[in-house]
Structure 1
Amino acid sequence: MVYYLGIDAGGSHCRSRLIDARGTILGTGETGPANARIGMDLLYATLWDAAGQAIEAAGLDADQVRTIRAGMGIAGISRPGVRDSLVDLDFPFASVAYETDAVIANIGAHGGADGATLVIGTGSIALVRVDGRDFSIGGYGFPISDEGSGAAVGLSAMRHALRALDGRTRRTPLSIAVAARFGHETARAVAWMDEATPRDYAALAPLVMDYAENDDSIARSIVEDAAQHIEIFIETIYAQGAPRCALAGGLSRRMRPWLRERTTAKLVEPQGDPLDGALLLAGYRAAPTN
Structure 2
Amino acid sequence: MALVLGIDGGGTGCRAALADAAGRILGLAEAGPANINTDVDGAAANIMAATRAALARVADAPDPAALTAVLGLAGGTIRPAVARLTALLPFSRIRVVNDGITAARGALGDGDGIMAAIGTGSVYAVQRGGALRQLGGRGFLMGDEGSGAVLGRALLAAAMRAADGFRPMTPLLAAILHEHGGHEGIIGFGNTARPGDFARLAPRVVDGDDPAARAIFDAAVAGLDADIAILQQGARLPVVLTGGLGPAYARRLEGRWPLHPPRGSGLEGAVAMAVALAAGEG
Identify the TM-score tier after normalising by the shorter chain: 0.7 to 0.9
**What corresponds to 1:146 in structure 2?**
144
Q: Does the Cα contact within 8 Å between 2:36 and 2:82 map onto a contact in 1?
A: no
Deviations 1:5-32 (A, max 9, x none): 322234x533414244272453332645
- Identity among equivalent pairs (%): 31
1:123, 1:203 → 2: CA distance?
Answer: 12
Letter in 2 for 1:40: V
1:151, 1:278 → 2: CA distance?
Answer: 26
Shift of 1:96: 2.8
**What corresponds to 1:246 in structure 2?**
240
Deviations 1:174-203 (A, max 9, x none): 324434543x24323222211222232222
2:192, 2:25 → 1: CA distance?
Answer: 42
1:226, 1:280 → 2: CA distance?
Answer: 32
Letter in 2 for 1:125: V
Q: Gaps (5+ residues) in structure 1? A: 286-290
Structure 1 runs (4+) deviating above 6 angstroms are: 59-62
Shift of 1:64: 4.7
Shift of 1:226: 0.9
Match of 1:157 among 155, 158, 172: 155
Q: Gaps (5+ residues) in structure 2? A: 278-282
**What corresponds to 1:283 in structure 2?**
275
CA RMSD of aligned residues (A): 3.1
Letter in 2 for 1:27: L
1:234 equivalent to 2:228? Answer yes
Q: Does the Cα contact within 8 Å between 1:238 and 1:244 map onto a contact in 2?
A: no
Letter in 1 for 2:147: S
Q: Does the Cα contact within 8 Å between 2:15 and 2:50 map onto a contact in 1?
A: yes
Letter in 2 for 1:160: A
The secondary structure found in structure 2 opposite 1:262 is coil
**What corresponds to 1:270 in structure 2?**
262
Counterparts in 2 of 1:131 and 1:66: CA distance versus 1, 3 Å: same
2:172, 2:248 → 1: CA distance?
Answer: 17
1:195 equivalent to 2:192? Answer yes
Residues 19-168 of structure 1: pairs in structure 2 closer than 5 A: 19-21=18-20, 23-24=24-25, 26-29=27-30, 31-32=32-33, 34-48=34-48, 51=51, 54=54, 58=57, 64-88=63-87, 90-166=88-164, 168=166
Shift of 1:145: 1.7
Letter in 1 for 2:27: L
Shift of 1:51: 4.6
Q: Does the Cα contact within 8 Å between 1:130 and 1:241 map onto a contact in 2?
A: no
Counterparts in 2 of 1:18 and 1:218: CA distance versus 1, 3 Å: same
Counterparts in 2 of 1:30 and 1:148: CA distance versus 1, 3 Å: farther
Counterparts in 2 of 1:203 and 1:45: CA distance versus 1, 3 Å: farther
Deviations 1:58-81 (A, max 9, x none): 378995544444321123332453
The secondary structure found in structure 2 opposite 1:139 is coil
Q: Does the Cα contact within 8 Å between 1:5 and 1:16 map onto a contact in 2?
A: no
2:200, 2:145 → 1: CA distance?
Answer: 16
Deviations 1:82-102 (A, max 9, x none): 3333322x2344443211112
Letter in 2 for 1:16: R
Residues 157-236 of structure 1: pairs in structure 2 closer than 5 A: 157-166=155-164, 168-182=166-180, 184-211=181-208, 215-236=209-230
The range that moved more, 167-176 or 224-233, is: 167-176
Deviations 1:29-68 (A, max 9, x none): 2645x44431423443454455566556x37899554444
2:186, 2:53 → 1: CA distance?
Answer: 37
2:194, 2:59 → 1: CA distance?
Answer: 36
1:203, 1:55 → 2: CA distance?
Answer: 36
Q: Does the Cα contact within 8 Å between 1:122 and 1:149 map onto a contact in 2?
A: yes
The range that moved more, 16-25 or 93-102, is: 16-25
1:242, 1:130 → 2: CA distance?
Answer: 12
- State how many pairs are aligned: 275
Q: Does the Cα contact within 8 Å between 2:114 and 2:126 map onto a contact in 1?
A: yes
TM-score using structure 1 length: 0.79
1:157, 1:216 → 2: CA distance?
Answer: 11
Shift of 1:152: 1.3
